[in-house]
């Protein structure tokens, strides 16, 4: 009589180490420079909107106690600055695009995949212009809103400084997250630059305005 044969299998656990290693490598090897086209324009626009418009409003506030003059100067700065940033970014990025396209033509690359990949990495002038204008407007709205609902002159100036300082920290934090840079260094650099710009504008305007008036 033949002995009974029992078939059995030993389960082998799946090896997820390769998959985990792939995920880690993907996160670590992520190329943050791919965001450079719009990130630079957006951060530059937002920071410029905050600093330039708030500095303009602080300068007017140094010699004028009328809230309408301060708010009107901020609004004019918003519109003019947004248009200037958009046009400037478009011209600058388009010039960069022309240089890179001319360089690629000189190199005469023949591999189709390589050419398609490089085309995707070319700068987009319109994207940079729109990002810069919108970001500038977003940054400029902060000091305008901070000054619009305060009657007392000194409190209004303080509100502008406080609101702009908070916004500068937030924008610095966003830029560090998107760019993969140290958070504290980015926030401190942006905040310090904005405060210095407002202080210089306020001080010089106060000095010159007082001597003229």
List pLDDT tens digits, range 111-127: 555 555 555 566 778 88
CB burial string 196-211: b at 16+ within 10 A, e below = ebbeebbeebeeeeee
CA distance 33 to 121: 10
Q: What is the pLDDT of residue 182?
A: 87
CA distance 136 to 93: 17
Q: What is the pLDDT of residue 84?
A: 82
Mean pLDDT of the chain: 77
Mean pLDDT over 50-57 rounds to 92
The string of pLDDT tens digits covering residues 178-210 is 777 788 988 898 899 899 999 999 998 888 876
Give pTM, 2 decimals.
0.67
Q: What is the pLDDT of residue 116?
A: 57
The string of pLDDT tens digits covering residues 140-176 is 999 999 999 888 999 999 999 999 999 999 988 887 8
Q: Which tokens belong to 98?
A: 């022309």
Q: What is the pLDDT of residue 96?
A: 76
- Considering Cα of 198, then 203, then 206, then 209, what sign does the dihedral take? negative
- Whether 9 shows a pLDDT value over 90: the answer reads no
Q: What is the pLDDT of residue 11?
A: 53
């Amino acid at each position: 009589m033949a002995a009974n044969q029992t078939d059995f299998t030993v389960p082998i656990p799946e090896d997820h180490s390769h998959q985990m290693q792939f995920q880690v490598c993907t996160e670590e090897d992520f190329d943050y420079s791919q965001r450079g086209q719009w990130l630079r324009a957006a951060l530059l626009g937002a920071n410029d909107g905050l600093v330039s418009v708030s500095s303009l409003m602080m300068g007017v506030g140094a010699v004028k106690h009328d809230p309408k003059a301060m708010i009107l100067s901020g609004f004019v700065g918003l519109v003019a600055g947004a248009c200037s940033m958009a046009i400037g970014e478009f011209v600058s990025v388009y010039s960069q695009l022309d240089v890179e396209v001319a360089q690629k033509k000189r190199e005469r690359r023949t591999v189709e995949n390589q050419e398609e990949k490089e085309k995707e990495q070319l700068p987009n002038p319109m994207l940079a212009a729109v990002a810069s204008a919108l970001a500038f407007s977003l940054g400029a709205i902060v000091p305008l809103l901070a000054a619009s609902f305060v009657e007392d002159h000194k409190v209004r100036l303080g509100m502008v400084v406080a609101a702009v300082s908070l916004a500068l920290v937030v924008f610095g934090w966003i830029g560090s997250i998107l760019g993969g840079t140290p958070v504290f260094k980015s926030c401190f650099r942006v905040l310090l630059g904005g405060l210095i710009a407002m202080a210089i504008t306020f001080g010089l305007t106060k000095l010159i305005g007082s001597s003229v008036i």
